[in-house]
Amino acid sequence: MINKLNFSVSYEAYDQFADLNEADQSLCKKAEAALATSYSPYSNFKVSTAVQLADGTVVTGSNQENVAYPSGLCAERVALFTVGAAHPNAVIERMVVTAHTDNFKIEQPVTCCGSCLQVMAEFERKQDKEIEVLFYCIDGKILKVNGVKNLLPFVFVEERLEASS
């Protein structure tokens, strides 16, 4: 027997930056400022992330390219791995992802790749709490998603890989 199933994605869409609350605007601006730290001489496509921890600390990251593809790393993983290394027991409340290029106008929010989503899912599992993610298109729309399962419904999970207590 074949069962056809559906799932739905829940998110909020904002038409412009001014529609966001003050806290979201502030985090978006921090992500936008982090674009300056992007090392993207090959793609000229800068991506940055601002991650807010439960204690209010903000950690930023930006994409880091390398001539030996795929040795670079996405902005989201740079920021998340920094959180893991510098704040190992912190709880991530929310994060903003944004992008910029001089090559063309970005007209829609840029979303995460599958590898970054999987890393985000690991943080959610570790902290037993969903992460709110904003995809911020500078001078454009913003999407807000609560929890990685809305972005990666078939996230890889295998409890038997966890160390035994």
Active site residues: 76
Encoding tokens for residue 22?
Answer: 């003050």
10 Å CB burial of residue 162 (0-12, 13-18, 19+) is: exposed
Asked if 127 and 158 touch (Cβ cutoff 8 Å), the reply is no
Encoded amino acid at 131, one letter: I
Q: Distance (Å, rounded) from C-alpha 18 to C-alpha 2? A: 47
Asked if 145 and 124 touch (Cβ cutoff 8 Å), the reply is no
Q: Distance (Å, rounded) from C-alpha 84 to C-alpha 88? A: 5
Residues 6+ apart with CB under 8 A from 118: 152, 155, 156
